[in-house]
């Protein structure tokens, strides 16, 4: 096959302890997966049961990934860029209608990620019933640290998830507080799309999201899954 210009190479995540990289196919994100964050966003508490999970996407080339301090460009068209620290799931398997029981076998590994958000654009979109894409899927909006294979780190279901900005703790939650757990998220998402090797899933953020400005230094971590560092430039 020949192309009219060279195809864009896939984005990828470096894998801890390996020289190989994990090639990224698509980036899915879960909305409002921690009750404390749903509350701070003004979403109504469900008195009983869980609100079904909902998903949005970022383009695969929105990914900024690696070890060391990642440089992330402050995006245009916003005065309210916000951080959301999240556990990122990387799939090496896939399929449609994956069962909760079979879901862990589809996981290659886990990373710490940031779902960067132009909150002002997202809020306007919510108001008008418009899509979230320009609030969520802008250039460099998906940040991720080193990928840790599940063969080494297991499948974390609990443990601290935290984020500091310029040394100040802003987000401090626990994976156990996720409304929908990772295997349930995979199972639900696979009802809507056929999942595939290379897919990433950002699994939602705990409370404490907040504004970023140029020059901010971020450090984030998840127990058992390492940490990431980034600077807004």
DSSP state of 181: -
C-alpha to C-alpha distance for 125 and 105, rounded to whole angstroms: 36
Give the nearer residue to Mn ion in terms of CB position, either 149 or 206.
Answer: 206
Which is nearer to Mn ion, 15 or 142 (by Cβ)?
142
Asked if residue 178 binds Mn ion (CB under 5 A), the reply is no
Least Å distance between CB 190 and Mn ion?
A: 20
- DSSP labels for 7-58? PPPPPEEEBTT-SSEEEP--EEEEES-BHHHHHHTTPPPPSSS-PPPEEEEE
Q: Which residue is at the shortest CB distance from Mn ion?
A: 115
Using the structure block, give the residue that is written with the tokens 């079904």. 52
Q: How far apart are CA 48 and CA 42, in angstroms?
A: 17
Query: How many residues touch Mn ion (CB under 5 A)?
Result: 3
Residue 84 is a binding residue for Mn ion (CB under 5 A) = yes
Q: Does 135 bind Mn ion (CB under 5 A)?
A: no
Q: What residues from 204 to 233 belong to the interface with Mn ion (CB under 5 A)?
A: 205
CA 78 vs CA 57, 70, 95, 213: distances in Å: 19, 21, 37, 11
Q: C-beta of 222: minimal distance to Mn ion in Å?
A: 14
Q: Looking at the DSSP assignment, which residues form a beta bridge with residue 147?
A: 15
Binding mask of the shown chain, residues 136 to 165, with x at each position contacting Mn ion by CB under 5 A: ------------------------------
R_g of the chain computed on alpha carbons: 17
Closer CB to Mn ion, 84 or 219, in the complex: 84
Counting contacts by CB under 5 A, is residue 199 touching Mn ion? no
**Residue 33 engages Mn ion in binding (rule: CB under 5 A):** no
Tokens found for residue 138:
């802008």
By CB under 5 A, residue 115 contacts Mn ion: yes
Footprint of Mn ion on this chain (CB under 5 A)? 84, 115, 205
């Amino acid at each position: 096959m020949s192309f009219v210009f060279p195809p864009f190479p896939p984005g990828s995540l470096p894998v801890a302890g390996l020289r190989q990289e994990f090639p990224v196919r698509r980036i899915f994100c879960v909305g409002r997966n921690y009750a404390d964050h749903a509350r701070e966003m003004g979403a109504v508490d469900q008195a009983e049961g869980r609100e079904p999970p909902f998903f949005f996407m970022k383009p695969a080339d929105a990914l900024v990934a690696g070890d060391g301090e990642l440089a992330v460009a402050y995006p245009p068209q916003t005065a309210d860029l916000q951080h959301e620290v999240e556990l990122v799931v990387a799939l090496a398997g896939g399929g449609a209608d994956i069962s909760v029981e079979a879901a862990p076998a589809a996981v290659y590994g886990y990373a710490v990620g940031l779902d960067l958000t132009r909150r002002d654009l997202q809020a306007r979109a919510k108001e008008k019933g418009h899509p979230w894409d320009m609030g969520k899927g802008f250039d460099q909006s998906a940040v991720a640290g080193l990928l840790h294979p599940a063969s080494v780190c297991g499948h974390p279901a609990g443990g601290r998830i935290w984020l500091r900005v310029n040394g100040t703790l802003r987000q401090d939650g626990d994976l156990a507080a996720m409304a929908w757990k990772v295997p349930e998220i995979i199972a639900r998402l696979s009802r809507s799309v056929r999942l595939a090797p290379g897919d990433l899933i950002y699994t939602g953020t705990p409370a404490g999201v907040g504004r970023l400005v140029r020059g901010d230094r971020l450090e984030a971590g998840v127990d058992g899954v390492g940490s990431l560092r980034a600077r807004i430039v």
